[in-house]
């Protein structure tokens, strides 16, 4: 019988354009792992909280390879909620893919293969999950990694600016600011960043603009 860590519960594997981060716009295969211990109030992937199907890592690799695409993003849910995710990331790197992971910031990222680009959320008070942030993760971020703050309000923006200052985040890694969809006006956020001369990257979720958040796109 195969060991449990060699199987992962998967919600979907699909080919699309990367909607966020510094690789935005690049064709990418998404491997969406099932399950998340958080409940952010703006979550747009609640369908990944449960269900899914068990796949061996070999089978995931075959499915990914069939799309003939260099970039692979492991996402969720919270992909690191499944211990086998670390093996999956390493196997994808070994197979020659350019691999990224989207994680909530609530799980230890230290064991992630150093070849993987980590896009880690910091949850703001407006997410209603701010107490889940694992700030010890900040020590493991590389210059090529990214911190993502989804902002719900001016209060969230001010909170995130103070955090950047407190932890010197702009010296450690790249920081992305996104408006929570339908909650914070994107133009307002863009204006605040310019007014404050803040060296963060403003981003909109490309897949929502192109496909209105259709599942599997
Ligand atoms: S961490 Fe991500 S998947 Fe989990 S509840 Fe928050 S937004 Fe949804």
Q: Is the CB of 78 under 6 A from ligand 1?
A: yes
How far apart are the CA of 205 and the centre of ligand 1, in A?
Answer: 15
Query: Model's pTM, two decimal places?
Result: 0.94
Residue located via tokens 């998404």: 30
Please report the atom of ligand 1 found closest to the CA of residue 42.
7
Residue 206's pLDDT band (boundaries 50, 70, 90)? Answer: confident
Q: Is the CB of 41 under 6 A from ligand 1?
A: no
Determine phi and psi for 31, rounding to 5 degrees.
-110, 105
What's the residue count for the chain?
217
For 58, the 3-state DSSP assignment is helix
Q: How far is CA 178 from CA 19, 69, 124, 131, 150, in A?
A: 12, 26, 12, 20, 5
Please report the atom of ligand 1 found closest to the CA of residue 48.
3
Give me the sign of the Cα torsion angle 13, 14, 19, 24: positive
pLDDT of 18-60, one tens digit each? 999 999 999 999 999 999 999 999 999 999 999 999 999 999 9
Q: Is the CB of 29 under 6 A from ligand 1?
A: no
């Amino acid at each position: 019988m195969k060991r449990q860590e060699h199987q992962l519960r998967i919600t979907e594997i699909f080919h699309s354009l990367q909607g966020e981060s510094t690789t935005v716009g690049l064709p990418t295969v998404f491997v969406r792992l099932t399950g998340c211990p958080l409940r952010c109030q703006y979550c747009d992937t609640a369908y990944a909280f449960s269900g899914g199907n068990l796949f061996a890592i070999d089978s995931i690799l075959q499915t990914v390879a069939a799309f003939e695409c260099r970039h692979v993003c492991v996402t969720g849910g919270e992909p690191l909620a499944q211990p086998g995710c670390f093996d999956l990331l390493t196997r994808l790197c070994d197979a020659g893919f350019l691999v990224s992971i989207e994680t909530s910031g609530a799980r230890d990222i230290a064991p992630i293969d150093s070849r993987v680009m980590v896009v880690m959320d910091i949850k703001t008070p407006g997410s209603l999950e701010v107490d889940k942030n694992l700030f010890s993760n900040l020590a493991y971020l590389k210059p090529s990694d990214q911190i993502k703050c989804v902002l719900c309000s001016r209060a969230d923006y001010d909170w995130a600016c103070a955090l950047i200052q407190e932890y010197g985040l702009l010296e450690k890694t790249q920081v992305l600011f996104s408006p929570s969809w339908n909650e914070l006006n994107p133009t307002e956020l863009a204006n605040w960043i310019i007014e404050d001369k803040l060296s963060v990257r403003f981003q909109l979720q490309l897949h929502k603009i192109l496909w209105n958040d259709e599942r599997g796109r």
